[in-house]
Amino acid sequence: MQTKNTGFRSDINGLRAIAVIAVVLYHFGVKGFSGGFAGVDIFFVISGFLMTGIIFRQTDNGKFSLIGFYLARAKRIIPALAFLCLSLLAAGWFVLIPSEYKELGKHAAASIGFLSNVAYWREAGYFDTASHGKWLLHTWSLSVEWQFYIIYPLIVLAARKLFGTSMTKVLLVVGALVSFALCLYMSSRSPSAAFYLLPTRAWEMLAGGIVFLFPMQMKHAHRKVASVFGLAMIALSILMLDASDVWPGWLALIPVAGTALLILTADQTSVVTNNKLSASIGKASYSIYLWHWPMVVLLGYYGVSDSTIAIAAGVAASILLGYASLHFVETPFQKLNIKVAQRPHLASYVLVVLIIGACASAVFVKQGVESRVSKIAAQADSERTNKNPASKECFIETGVDSPKCIFGKKDAPVSVIVMGDSHSDAIVSAVVEAAGPEKSTLYLGYISCMTIPGMKLQGMPSSYQCGDFVRKEIEELKTTLPGVPLVVINRSSVYVFGHNEYQDRTTGPLMYFNEPGALDEAYKEDFRKRYVSAMCEIAKNRPVYVTKPIPEMIKNVPTTIARNEVRFGKSQDVTIPLSEYKSRNQFVLSVMEDAAKSCGIQLLDPEPELCDAQYCYGSINGKPLYWDDNHMSESGNKKLIPVFRSIWN
């Protein structure tokens, strides 16, 4: 049996069905499909096999046209993608708040320009919570494939001309090995780059190409066994892997090898890949893939992503929209045979890309077109970016050396020191203003850094050295600026109990000292001793003020207010019950009280300024006090000026 079969491959169509089902059910959070993201890897192998076949067969026959190749890919991919981008831009005009619409414009331009993988790589990791609200996140894989389509035939044509067919095959194998080695290296050092970028994904498509280039003769019995084994590998990856695994990496070999093995066997009799349902879903797989992710985001946007009924409706809508796209967009363009030369025909698709890209870019440049929404919604939404303007220069994320920024009057003696994590970065300007215009403030801030020497944090890279940073600064403070008061500001409870705005993938406390462990009484006692010891050490030669926890709103305050204004024409203040605030922070408050009793540190309480007898407020009369769900904005933090003035009073 030769895999160089020019006829229709029902097994490949069945593989497409498996891949899209896995991806869709994974993204909708259906239990049992924790590794469904591997469906994209299946698509990559299939693409590599088919593209290699087209290029080599047509080159051997003397019929290969580079323009024709690109035109065929454009007819296959661009119409449905263009329709999706236009649909989202049109719907977003009426539904999205300015910041969200601006982001959609940026992503639509990147998607239709097949650069979305680069855009998303520079923003956040694929599995990060921050990525779950991006309407076109899934187009990263289309960008990778299109970049492969652009480069691959050029490489093959050049290599065949220079080295001949046999050496070209060898070079493609070497290229696959180099790409795989790079994938392994980058997966542990820069996971986001390894996930999104072509150089670390090319080996998966080249694996499909290698299957075409090196066909194998198999007896029927051996082919059946190999087919079952390949399906088992794919099933294993879909059912057993999850988002906590390093991906891609060694584990990506499982679905890639399984897919390659199935394509190699070319088993046209398997009941899994060769049936009417898989044939139908496989044919619509591209359009289903395009439409499913916006449905996933839509459920999250309206807060029903955990509803079984909503999930079922989302899956159904994805399939229906996918089939509609297949029949009314994909198929007509595939059948459309414009009687013009290939270059002008291809240019027409390029023009479509440019027009949609220009429209999407205009949305981005116009800041999401704020004139679409009310002034209240626009002002609330703008608070999302009202952050400390000095963060980039003064708030560090790696290493142990602080830039030791001075706020306030630069040439005045330092009158107060602020030390802490991102909550200190969000509040330091309130301390500066409380000190007054004639005083200066020294700032020592580090991301996700509880002020305890030697602390470590789950999920952080090796460049994160908060524990050493704190130890170093405490040592320096023994001889630096004696007597100058120091204000400690931390989001303390998150290190012990995890985030309350989303579900942590880690188990146990986020912060640990030796090895990650359980949140038990032994851990709490160790935390208490280390915290009290750290505060007492700092307090030996200066007054120490510890800021009690800032209320965490759970919901993104500016976004919630702006969305309510757009949806319902009215905004409602974001609050949490005071009892919830006290319950969340009961443990760390008791630890702070112990430190106060042990070494005389003073506690600064934001509760009277942010809470009443029943609620803690994230906004007042529709004006946000936070730029997200737990960080105070530059306008909101001014509510705390009276709290910090007590340092000098």
The distance from CA 375 to its chain's CA centroid, rounded to whole angstroms, is 30
The SS3 call for residue 615 is: strand
Q: Report whether pLDDT(185) > 50.
A: yes
pTM confidence score: 0.86
Report the distance separating Cα 99 and Cα 82, nearest Å.
22
List, as one string, the DSSP characters of 113-146.
Answer: TT-HHHHHHTT--TTSGGGTT-TTGGGHHHHHHH
User: What is the structure's pLDDT at 335?
Assistant: 82
User: What is the structure's pLDDT at 505?
Assistant: 66
User: What is the structure's pLDDT at 14?
Assistant: 93
pLDDT band at 216 (very low <50, low <70, confident <90, very high): confident
Q: Report whether pLDDT(433) > 70.
A: yes
Q: Report whether pLDDT(97) > 90.
A: yes
Q: Report whether pLDDT(124) > 90.
A: no
Report the distance separating Cα 168 and Cα 61, nearest Å.
17
Average pLDDT, stretch 260-286?
91
User: What is the structure's pLDDT at 222?
Assistant: 81
138 or 649, greater pLDDT? 138
**Widest CA span in the chain:** 90
List, as one string, the DSSP characters of 243-287.
Answer: TTS-SSSGGGHHHHHHHHHHHHHT-S--TTTSSHHHHHHHHHHHH
Cα–Cα distances (Å) from 551 to 144, 158, 608, in that order, read 42, 62, 11
Share of the chain above pLDDT 70, in %: 98
pLDDT band at 268 (very low <50, low <70, confident <90, very high): confident
Report the distance separating Cα 329 and Cα 284, nearest Å.
11
The SS3 call for residue 353 is: helix
Q: Report whether pLDDT(127) > 80.
A: no
217 CB-near residues (< 8 Å, 6+ apart): 1, 2
* Lowest mean pLDDT segment, chosen from 97-106, 271-280, 441-450, 469-478: 271-280
124 or 587, greater pLDDT? 587
User: What is the structure's pLDDT at 7?
Assistant: 60
Share of the chain above pLDDT 90, in %: 84
User: What is the structure's pLDDT at 188?
Assistant: 86
Q: Which residues, in sequence order, are bridge partners of residue 512?
A: 456
Q: Report whether pLDDT(139) > 50.
A: yes
Residue with token string 């530059």: 634
Residue with token string 């602020």: 418
